[in-house]
Amino acid sequence: MKKTIFVDLIFLLNVMLLISCVSTTSVAKFYTELQPIESVPEECRLAENETPKVFCSDDIQSDLYFMRSNYFQVIGYSAWNGPDENGVGGEDCLQNEITYFCKQKGARVAIYSKKYTDTRNGIYSVPLINNHYYTDSNGYMHSYNTTSYIANSYSVNRYNYDVYFFVPYNQSYIKVPKIGIEFRDLDSADRIKLQRNTGICVDVVYENSPAFFANLSRGDVIIEINGENIINVDTYRSVTSKLSADDSVEIKYIRNGKEEKAEFKIF
């Protein structure tokens, strides 16, 4: 009985150690780099003695949009499905690991989310060594061992984890006259929904930008600027590269299936 308890304790300690160390490998193992920190201006990186800000999010997509619209760029992200990252390390275990990784990557801010997905149950076997003794006909004592196995059950909750790492844009970028959006080409789902192949989709509207005050919104599809058709991202960049501060802009876009128009000045 004592041996059984001892073996079970060893097994549980190993499991607890594994769980407590999982977040280190998970955040790093599943990291995807989008922007090498070496290419980020030094004033935008985490300073040597600075503590990064780490936030837990209930709505990761909304908070991601909020950060981007406030002139923060994503330099990388981690995403995975696994058991509870806090494990025996307490509630701050995952947050501490994200903070440590921010310092490694030079990120000033990180946001993360944890969403329950499922519970996995099963059975594992624990080996038990049994010692046996006997006395032969000459009175000598001998021993031998046999192994038996004890079945134990487990139940593990699993979660989806998403972590995004940010640095701010530098002031010179923020102050460059611009419309004030991030954008992307239409994907196949957009084309089916809109029943058109040309245009660009507004992905982010920067706070206090010309687009912000003109009430352009995420999801709007820009199809024309100053009378020039916008075919794709390349066309948009070509047209807007000619614009300067105080230039007037007329944009035609599609929102909720209807064509709309906005007029404003670049600043």
Q: State pLDDT tens for residues 77-118.
A: 999 999 987 755 555 789 999 999 999 999 999 999 999 999
Name 221's bridge partners.
Answer: 201, 254
The whole-number pLDDT of residue 20 equals 46
Mean pLDDT lowest for which of 38-52, 63-77, 136-150, 188-202? 136-150
Cα–Cα nearest to 167, from 114, 110, 112, 89? 110
Radius of gyration of the chain (CA): 29
How far, in Å, CA of 69 to CA of 64, rounded? 9
Stated as kind and residue range, the H or E segment containing 238 is helix 233-240
Stated as kind and residue range, the H or E segment containing 136 is none
**Top-confidence residue, 173 or 85:** 173
Task: Tally the residues of the chain.
Answer: 267
**CB neighbour list of residue 97: distance below 8 Å, 6 or more residues apart:** 23, 24, 27, 85
The whole-number pLDDT of residue 136 equals 87
DSSP state of 208: T
The answer to whether residue 43 scores a pLDDT higher than 60 is yes
DSSP state of 20: H
The answer to whether residue 214 scores a pLDDT higher than 90 is yes
The whole-number pLDDT of residue 85 equals 76
Q: What is the mean pLDDT of residues 25-43?
A: 95
For β-strands 53-56 and 31-33, DSSP reports them as unpaired
* 3-state SS, one letter per residue, for 37-99: HHHCCHHHCCCCCCCCEEEECCCHHHHHHHHHHCCEEEEEEEEEEEECCCHHHCCCHHHHHHH
The whole-number pLDDT of residue 25 equals 76
Instruction: Provide the pLDDT confidence category of residue 70 given band limits of 50, 70 and 90.
Output: very high
